[in-house]
């Protein structure tokens, strides 16, 4: 599905706004801060890009049983009772094209189906919340009916009470021909600063007390780029698994981001990264801001939004400076291309206002669109009303309630009252719970799963393959993630009525994520 184009060309107004802001900054900077900006780089122009992009999001959830004797492992088993009943596994693909499975460490994980735009991705992400919340409610009712008190809670956050971190992994399809080392080099400084508009916020407890920080993930990053996900967690994971034609595509696997509750935050997170990738693939001039110590920089910016970090050449920049340098480059790229989508326009608008909000301290400019700002205001108002501070256990519970995806969770109330912005409408979420995106390969997978279950046939699926489970069953490899029609799939579905069998499916997957999680989204 092609996104609507913006009615007006955003880059023109953006350039004027950026120019006046840069002039204002120069007037107030000290001589030491007015060091030369880094020279831009211009990657060699590759062949014209393939149309569109595939996006995917993997979310690991925290799981807890409150006010009762149920431990995490038992709670996880109970959560998947209904899934195992029809799928005979705790690792299944759903008819909406997504993957639902139980990760190591008793973390439920939901991986969206392949999406071709941010609206689809947001709908799929929110659908995952509702699917899991429904299983949690069913598990609670089942155990309560058996005399077990308490309630199951699923938390869309990234840190547990013991300080362990679990992931929110972003996936972007890029062309195989790109200079991946240069792409990583260009992306890391942006990802370090992006938390200012994409962080979920967190109460960080230290021996010196508690403070509110921008990102839950920042303190758990130890490398910029690596093949690891747990022992030395990087911002970008380099595992080369395209889940598509490997001669044409590769997957950019970003694991530095926080899980987002607010739809506007999710849109910025994916939309801004998409703009950066589009500019890179088009050979646009992009900044070279090699940071002297990226993992230190991401922590410093998380703990102090005005922190100054240093490039390898000694240039001193704030996170807002870094975001503005990238914004300038993206605006120039879009001005040349001249055809921004409505999502591009919304992302650029939040990008501009976010820089102004962080620099001025006027967070009211983004108070309903950025998770950490929404949460910070909620906690500050509670502390002021109750005359307490961040060390109060009630404040800790309030922070966790922000991430509770159940009907009684705090965020749903903030959304209903207009204190958190929405991007899509409720019918889109309801549809995404059952229906895969119509513009990607996921629609073929969903059709096959529906048909195989209806016919009572066993089957095996993963992101690329469809296979009937009987001996000699036919296997199809779907290497084009943009394909929505395939005669082979039509023939396979038509053959399902030829013989019967015990219904059920098996999902191919991989393990070994942050908490042992599969990372199977294109």
| Tally of CA atoms within 13 A in the half-sphere of 80 that contains its CB | 22
Q: What string of DSSP letters covers 49-81?
A: PPSS--EEEEEE-EEEEESSS--HHHHHHHHTH
Contact 137, 153 (CB under 8 A): no
Residue 201 to residue 301: CA distance in whole angstroms? 12
Q: Could you tell me the maximum CA-CA distance found in the chain, to the nearest angstrom?
A: 80
Q: Write out the catalytic residue numbers.
A: 103
Residue 197 to residue 215: CA distance in whole angstroms? 10
Dihedral, 291, 292, 294, 298 alpha carbons, nearest 10: -90
The span from the first CA to the last CA of the chain, in angstroms, equals 18
Tokens found for residue 263: 């739809």
Residue 398 to residue 296: CA distance in whole angstroms? 29
Tokens found for residue 252: 């950019």
Rg (CA), the chain: 23
Per the rule left: phi > 0, alpha: psi between -120 and 50, beta: everything else, 517 is beta
Q: Specify the pairing of strand 62-66 against strand 151-155.
A: antiparallel
The CB density around residue 162, as the number of other CB atoms within 10 Å, is 5
Residue 371 to residue 327: CA distance in whole angstroms? 21
Per the rule left: phi > 0, alpha: psi between -120 and 50, beta: everything else, 314 is left
3-state secondary structure of 374: helix
Closest CA to 312 of 327, 329, 297, 330: 297
């Amino acid at each position: 599905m092609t996104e609507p184009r913006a009615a007006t060309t955003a880059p023109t107004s953006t350039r004027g706004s950026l120019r006046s802001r840069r002039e204002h900054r120069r007037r107030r900077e000290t001589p030491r801060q007015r060091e030369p900006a880094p020279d831009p780089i211009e990657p060699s122009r590759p062949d014209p890009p393939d149309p569109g992009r595939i996006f995917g999001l993997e979310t690991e959830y925290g799981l807890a049983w409150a006010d009762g004797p149920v431990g995490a492992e038992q709670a996880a088993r109970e959560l998947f009772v209904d899934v195992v009943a029809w799928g005979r596994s705790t690792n299944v693909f759903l008819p909406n094209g997504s993957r639902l499975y139980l990760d190591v460490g008793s973390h439920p994980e939901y991986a969206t189906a392949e999406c071709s735009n941010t609206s689809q991705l947001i709908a799929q992400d929110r659908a995952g919340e509702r699917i899991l919340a429904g299983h949690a409610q069913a598990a609670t009712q089942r155990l309560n009916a058996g005399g077990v008190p308490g309630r199951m809670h699923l938390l869309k956050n990234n840190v547990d009470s013991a300080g362990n971190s679990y992931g929110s992994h972003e996936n972007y399809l890029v062309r195989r021909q790109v200079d991946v080392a240069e792409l990583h080099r260009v992306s890391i400084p942006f990802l370090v600063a992006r938390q200012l508009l994409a962080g979920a916020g967190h109460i960080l407890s230290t021996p010196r007390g508690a403070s509110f920080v921008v990102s839950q993930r920042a303190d758990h990053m130890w490398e910029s780029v690596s093949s690891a996900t747990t022992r030395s967690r990087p911002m970008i994971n380099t595992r080369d698994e395209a889940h598509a034609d490997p001669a044409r595509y590769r997957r950019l696997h970003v694991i530095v981001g926080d899980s987002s509750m607010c739809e506007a935050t999710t849109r910025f997170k994916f939309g801004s990264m998409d703009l950066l990738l589009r500019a890179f693939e088009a050979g646009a001039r992009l900044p070279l801001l090699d940071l002297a110590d990226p993992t230190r920089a991401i922590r410093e910016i998380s703990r102090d939004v005005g922190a100054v970090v240093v490039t390898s050449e000694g240039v001193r920049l704030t996170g807002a400076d870094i975001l503005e340098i990238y914004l300038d480059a993206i605006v120039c790229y879009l001005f040349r291309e001249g055809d921004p989508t409505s999502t591009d326009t919304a992302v650029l608008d939040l990008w501009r206002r976010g820089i102004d909000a962080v620099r001025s301290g006027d967070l009211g400019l983004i108070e309903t669109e950025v998770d950490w700002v929404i949460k910070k205001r909620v906690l500050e108002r509670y502390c002021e009303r109750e005359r307490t501070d961040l060390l109060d256990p009630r404040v800790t519970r309030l922070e966790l309630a922000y991430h509770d995806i159940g009907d009684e969770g705090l965020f749903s109330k903030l959304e209903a009252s207009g204190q958190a912005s929405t991007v899509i409408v409720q019918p889109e979420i309801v549809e995404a719970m059952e229906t895969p995106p119509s513009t990607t390969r996921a629609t073929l997978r969903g059709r096959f799963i529906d048909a195989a279950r209806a016919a009572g046939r066993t089957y095996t699926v993963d992101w690329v393959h469809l296979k009937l489970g009987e001996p000699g069953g036919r296997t199809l490899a779907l290497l084009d993630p943009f394909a929505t029609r395939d005669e082979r799939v039509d023939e396979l579905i038509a053959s399902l009525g030829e013989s019967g069998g015990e219904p059920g499916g098996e999902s191919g997957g991989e393990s070994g994520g942050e908490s042992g999680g599969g990372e199977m989204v294109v």
